[in-house]
Structure 1
């Protein structure tokens, strides 16, 4: 049953991308690797983000700029899609939303609040995820020190039942027009549970970017390499 669902679901994402027109300018970077920034898509923009990660899993995220300063989206992951596994599983869809409440100025950072339900590292034996969802969050972003160096930081509440508060921070250094270097420290509550992620993004066109990253650096067998392809269009 799951295998029969995969083709029409991914065809839906691809058909939406084909129907839209390529964006004319480089889109705002709403996400580093896992850390959200305060940036949002412009009105009538749509972002298609494909992530290939551990265990041959693939996640497609779709985000819309529905009204000024507000984005909504959904994501769908398929476990062990890549390879010859017989245990392909379509995971529960998640959603995300963001509202940029302040644009920032010369002295103060931009501010956004949002919700991100995406989770990674599914284990088919325990039926649990290695990473909790970001959940509700507050993100701050500002250019610091030199042009092209953006810093983001914030706080998130992953599980509203546990009331555990986590922190995150990240930096993006634009390298001329070809891309950016990415670094982030995520899920900060205890050192053991926090994640250090490093990566780079290459802008193939103003609307299409390819990213590679290593997640959970220093966590032994939990280290993970990912690839992401992001395409931004107007609708």
Structure 2
């Protein structure tokens, strides 16, 4: 009987400790990360990327972002970025295929690097313009051609213009040149897209990558470009969840499956200074 009472007292004390720890964590999150979101009309940070296409958005100074993309073939790509100051961010990414699921993972041979600098801030008449470099492609990596299934953007310029329309409507455009050109396809490429907020925490988006630098070889692009759509939902405390439908036009040659590709994106933002 004595041991049972003692056990109950210990259990109650442990329960109080756990509750207090939870409240401290919740308080810390609410202070530092609740406002750090990129989805919906109440987003406090700019959208930096649609599905694959970069935007002119950039994190505010001192904000760190951590992204995970989960794609077909067990592909996982993680990215860490930091806005070292307003209008300038640096990032590093890494991943591989067959990471999710069974079998031996096939890791990328090198990490991807990202740098982004805002050249012109958006005004009433002019869009925001950002210059950047991103060496991280999407999909499996072809070691013989030294390229990803979907090439990295390389050097790019992105423009974004926002409008008040039942929330916000954002229009995006990008021009880029990828150095993944050992396949002989080295044209300048273009892409366009939009984001529309639905309520305070939800955004829908779509993009079209013309893939002009990936339409003249016998392995990858067919020439119809990449059309993708996605949803982004803010869960609070700096966390957002995204779901994408990719390659709707089935632009990939010799793919072993039919239909669109499904993907998930998880984003976490934290203001660290």
Please state which band the TM-score falls in when normalised by the shorter chain: 0.7 to 0.9
Correspondence for 1:22 among 26, 30, 33: 33
Match of 1:6 in 2: none
d(CA) in 2 for partners of 1:210, 1:225? 14
**CA RMSD in angstroms, aligned pairs only:** 2.3
How many residues get paired?
A: 215
Asked if the contact 2:35–2:236 (Cα under 8 Å) also holds between the matched residues in 1, the reply is no
Match of 2:60 in 1: 42
Match of 1:157 in 2: 177
Larger radius of gyration: 2
Instruction: Give the alignment of 1:83-98 within 5 angstroms.
Output: 83-85=101-103, 87-91=104-108, 92-98=110-116
d(CA) in 1 for partners of 2:237, 2:198? 14
Does residue 170 (structure 1) correspond to residue 188 (structure 2)? The answer is no
**Segments ≥4 residues shifted beyond 3 Å:** 123-128, 160-163, 220-223
Asked if the contact 1:103–1:111 (Cα under 8 Å) also holds between the matched residues in 2, the reply is yes
Asked if the contact 2:120–2:130 (Cα under 8 Å) also holds between the matched residues in 1, the reply is yes
- Which has the larger share of strand? 1
Which range moves more in the overlay, 139-148 or 194-203?
A: 139-148
d(CA) in 2 for partners of 1:216, 1:38? 23
Match of 1:122 in 2: 140
Q: How much does 1:57 deviate?
A: 1.3
d(CA) in 2 for partners of 1:22, 1:232? 7
Instruction: Give 5+ residue unaligned stretches, structure 2.
Output: 1-28, 38-44, 216-221, 252-256
Q: What TM-score do the two structures reach when normalised by structure 2?
A: 0.72
Cα offsets for 1:120-158 (capped at 9, x unmatched) = 221679675211111110000001472410000020001
